[in-house]
Structure 1
Amino acid sequence: MVSNNETIRQHEQVAFDSVRSQEERNKCGQFATPYELAKTIAEDLLSRIPSSSHILEPSCGTGSFISALSSVSDSLKITGIEKDSSLSAIAQRLWASDSCHIINTDFFDYASLEPERFDAIISNPPYSRHHHLSQSEKRFYSQLAVSFSGVSLSGLAGLHAYFLLVGTGMLKTGGVGSWLIPSELFSVNYGKPIRTFLTENVTLERIHFFDSENLQFDDALVTSCVTVIKKEKPTDDVVATLTYGDFRAPRKTIHIPLRELSSLQKWQHLEDYEDRKDYSGRVLGDYFKAKRGIATGGNSFFIKTRSEWHSEGITDDWLSPILPAPRFFHLSKVTSDDSGWPQESDLALLNIPRTVEYTILPAPLREYLDGCPERIRESYILRHRSPWYSIGDARSAPIVCTYMSRSDKNPFRFIRNKSDATMTNTYLGLYPQIPMSEEELDDMCIRLNSISSDVLINGGREYGGGLKKLEPCELMSLPIGN
């Protein structure tokens, strides 16, 4: 049964959220934990620690976790930290007591001054992306993270990563931390120091991955997980538990020795780990190299239909065929006319060789270049490209892959390209490493499109809102049989 204070808290939370824009809340990472989820995580944490534990909530907001903890046990001591004065005032009014201390301060300031160590931590740390953090903040957080954990984070790490490292450092030996954090931390490159920390410095007890379609926050496109850590050095026989689906009744549970987990680059999609471990067949990288398509620096300026280019007085001598963006192109094959132009699209890329000087270009082409909008001309890519108007290597690939998707049924498509069309960086191009006939390339494309969606998704990584990606190295590791 929900307490009267919890009902008040929920109303106060709605009122607080209603006067903050989505942009403000994204910047601050202020997305409150739904009460039922908080209670589920709290119950799991309390099953792992003594009944009279002192628990730290380092970003308590209005107190969803404090409310959940209080509903399960009345013998706990709780310290809640909240930087936002409005949220802290709500938590103070609702939860402050002899056994619950609410402090209005920045967690990292608190951590740098507070000598006390805690029995447990429970937290949904702010999901602030790295670009919302100033350089001075990053330096301060990074120094604290190194001091508390010995781990140095990439500048791409979000605020939640610093919370996890510093917070874990504030636990007593044997203390337990339960963290509701973005799942991407276990797939992306900037999360590697965290993954190393979890396999070498502490004992990883459980990671629970929620399904991508089951967002835990109605207003934040973040696929979440719960990570449970015990602050003690792992022994050689430690086995980590990974669960998927419902937190209380997972649809899948796997157990991986920590020494094996430490060797894996991505932990997010390991439901088929046992099958993958036994696989000894061929992978795509045995046949192909993958390369991202070109980044023009301004598609609206460099890509038009052939007729539009011709109307500008620019002939095919300065153009190359290019595929439409994946969202506009749903065919599985691209055929060509006798000159190599695709029959399925008339898009063309302005492709001026680097060796051709501006002064010898035809007048219509020089006039077009002179009219390049300043916002494009001053973009990062163009400012660092010489000459700015030359795209560079625009080779076509015989097979191209749509490597980003939000679909579970058909996440990535492989397109057989029998034309001279190149592609933008919304595709990955597959270039054979061994001689392959047209028929062999046809067969390979069919085989790739027959790979199950689960294998494709598990081979890549997943971001907020169910965005799935296959980076080149991950694409090269796809199993394709013998």
Structure 2
Amino acid sequence: MLDDEPPISDQKQSGAYFTPHDVAQSLVSWALRKPTDRLLDPSCGDGQFLSAHPNSVGIEQNPVSAQAAISVAPSALVHKGDFFAWAGETNERFECAAGNPPFIRYQSFKGEVRRRALNLCARHGAPFSGLASSWAPFLVATAALLKPGGRMAFVVPAEIGHAPYAAPLLEYLVSSFSGVQIIAIRNKLFPQLSEDCWLLYAEGQGGSTTHIDFTVCDEFKPSRHRPRPTVQIDVHEWRAVWARRLRAYLLPREIRDIYAAASKDSASRRLGDFATVGIGYVSGDNDFFHLRPSEVNRWKIPTELLHPSLRSGRVMPASQITAATVESWTKADEKVLLLRLNRGQDLPTSVQAYLDSGAGREARLGYKCRNRTPWYAVPDVQIPDFMLSYMSGRAANLVQNLAGVTCTNSVHSVRVRDKALARKLFPQWSTPFLRLSCELEGHALGGGMLKLEPGEASRILFPSDNATGEANKEALEDAVKTLHRWRHYGD
């Protein structure tokens, strides 16, 4: 950590992870054309980008960081304050921009700053959802401050390749610049972060393009010149075939063609075509609402008010949850018995005593509990046909629920609408194609994990009998391993 960096907790709140010098130097070199070019850094931090070019303007909200930027880049002009307020009022325009915008997730990117940011982007034709993280609006607001023909080069989270909120940004860029390039870097630019970072370059502000230049590389190599594209992504294909995601372009063309052909085959099916994927229930206090058998005996809770539950994907069995599975949980005295109470229900004295215990008084103060009536009635308790791991290591796990257990929101609830089709298709789950589909439709999470949101899980593709062949098995296995490496599984 640099001497002038804020503590880690403050960094997470502000998104302030300062850029390595060689990265900043390279991005500024890509953006500049001549010494007289005026460069903008919308969130200049400690001034790494400003120090690489004397004719620079930086905006920085953190006063300590702003002072550091003034010290390392005395020839630059540094404004202290909110970038979006400044961008909405300034008449200045710039030949180029470079930087590393703060990565603040939507939960912390809020209040008046967020309102200004989203309103400003909407006026420029980039309507972001309420789930947008801060860096994406920074790029749109910066692009709008460039002169015609202007250029920009930025560090961006790898989320640009898969996050739904990143799609409006890319749509804005391809409609506002004559050239857009994304450099995907496998090795971490910031080793201290779980978040992977890529690089973005755009040129020709005021133009438009029908393709995205995409460069795939293992590590960042400092250079005054941008790396050559690995592939030119057709924007129509990116929209129509890959749901405006870039993750597939980490793979060879051969694999993309196999997957695209299967997706276009009328006999292929998505998981959402025959099943509904949703999250399990949210109890509000898992430790209180889930009891061990020994606790049930101690409190004398009637068994008819309890229901066995799968609390975590970490304890999912390989393929089925059976009565023997539940018996093993019970013998191990695991906290797997959900206290399942309903609104208006007469409560036995023993249950009321448990609700009034110290743990109960504490549980009812939690956000979820205090915002429902009655606080002790856990809503949305379902009995799924199958359960699907929400976050996975080597592969997503699909488990049949033969024991009729319920599940928390740490796993997905899968309810089958077409049982005949499910019986036909689910045996494919462990095949290379299905494992690849989970990788392509899901996304990487920190620590090497694969995360599948319900919408992503619904897109998992079951190919027709003719869509893939035995000859492709080895290539598909290699593709799965490639995506494992990109999400750092096994590192």
What TM-score does the superposition give when structure 1 sets the normalisation length?
0.81
Tell me, what secondary structure is at the counterpart of 1:420?
A: coil
2:156, 2:198 within 8 Å by CA — same for their partners in 1? Answer: yes
In the TM superposition, what whole-angstrom CA distance separates every residue of 1:154-179 from its partner, at most 9, and x where no partner exists? 34333322211111110011111112
Q: CA deviation at 1:335?
A: 1.9
- Equivalent residues of 1:187, 1:462 under 8 A apart: no
In the TM superposition, residue 434 of structure 1 has moved relative to its aligned partner by 1.5
Hey, what's the Cα distance between the residues in 2 that align with 1:239 and 1:295?
43
Shift in CA distance, 170/417, structure 1 to aligned 2, threshold 3 Å:
same
Q: Aligned pair count?
A: 442
Q: Supply the distance in 2 between the matched residues of 1:83 and 1:392 (Cα, whole angstroms).
A: 42
Q: CA 1:44/1:458 → structure 2, altered by over 3 Å: closer, same or farther?
A: farther
Decide whether the 8 Å contact of 2:387 with 2:399 is kept in 1.
yes
C-alpha RMSD of matched pairs (Å): 3.0
Deviation at 1:428, TM superposition (A): 1.0
Counterpart for residue 458 of structure 2? 476
Matching of residue 450 in structure 1 with residue 431 in structure 2: yes
102, 117, 137: which one aligns with 2:93? 117
Change in 2 beyond 3 A, CA 1:478/1:395: same
Aligned residue in 2 for 1:14: 2
Contact in 2 for aligned 1:188/1:266 (Cα 8 Å): no
The answer for the alignment partner of 2:401 in structure 1 is 417
Instruction: Measure the CA separation in 1 of the matches of 2:432 and 2:42.
Output: 44
1:240 paired residue number: 212
Give 2:261's aligned amino acid: D
8 Å Cα contact 2:307-2:340 kept in structure 1: yes
Residue 186 of structure 1 contacts residue 195 of structure 1 at CA under 8 Å; is this kept in 2?
no
User: Equivalent of 2:306, from 319, 335, 346?
Assistant: 319
Sequence identity (%): 24
Quote the Cα distance in structure 1 between the aligned partners of 2:386 and 2:430. Answer: 11
Which whole-Å CA distance do the structure 1 matches of 2:417 and 2:353 have between them? 41
**Structure 1 unaligned regions, length at least 5:** 1-12, 71-75
- Corresponding position: 1:459 with 2:448: no
Q: Which whole-Å CA distance do the structure 1 matches of 2:107 and 2:278 have between them?
A: 27
Partner of 1:4: none
Cα deviation, residue 256, structure 1: 1.7
SS in 2 for 1:314: coil
Q: What is the CA–CA distance in structure 2 between the aligned matches of 1:101 and 1:242, rounded to whole Å?
A: 34
How far off is 1:90 after superposition?
A: 3.2
Q: Secondary structure of the equivalent of 1:90?
A: helix
Structure 1 window deviating more from structure 2 (187-196 vs 394-403): it is 187-196
1:258 maps to amino acid: V
Aligned residue in 1 for 2:182: 207
Q: Distance in 2 between matches of 1:433 and 1:54?
A: 59
CA deviations on 1:124-161 (whole Å, 9 max, x unpaired) are 012233333452222233343344x2334334333322
CA distance in 1, matches of 2:88, 2:229: 40
Match of 2:58 in 1: 80
Provide closer, same or farther for how the CA distance between residues 458 and 252 of structure 1 changes in structure 2, counting only shifts above 3 A.
farther
- Residue 293 of structure 1 corresponds to 280
Residue 252 of structure 1: how far off its partner (Å) = 8.7
Matched, 1:194 2:176: no
Determine the C-alpha separation between the residues in 1 that align with 2:320 and 2:362: 35
Distance 2:12 2:453 in 1: 26
- Sort the Cα spacing of 1:382 and 1:83 in 2 relative to 1 into closer, same or farther, 3 A: closer
Deviates more, 1:166-175 or 1:282-291: 282-291
- Long gaps (5+) in structure 2: 331-335, 465-491
The answer to whether the aligner puts 1:60 opposite 2:44 as a matched pair is: yes
- Alpha-carbon separation, structure 1, partners of 2:90 and 2:301: 69
Counterparts in 2 of 1:14 and 1:395: CA distance versus 1, 3 Å: closer
Provide the C-alpha distance between the structure 2 equivalents of 1:219 and 1:160, rounded to a whole number of angstroms: 19
- CA shift in 2, pair 1:176/1:380, >3 Å: same
Q: TM-score, with normalisation over the residues of structure 2?
A: 0.80
Distance 2:293 2:230 in 1: 54
Structure 1 window deviating more from structure 2 (342-351 vs 131-140): it is 131-140
> Aligned to 1:363, which of 349, 359, 364?
349
What secondary structure sits across from 1:25 in the alignment?
helix
**Is the 1:31–1:219 Cα contact (8 Å) retained in structure 2?**
no
* 1:30 pairs with 2:16: yes
Q: Distance in 2 between matches of 1:319 and 1:329?
A: 20
Cα distance in structure 2, aligned partners of 1:306 and 1:252: 60
2:459 is matched by which residue type in structure 1? S
**CA offsets 1:75-102 (integer angstroms, 9 cap, x no match):** x7333333333333333333323xx444
Amino acid at match of 2:258: D
For 1:168, give the aligned amino acid: A
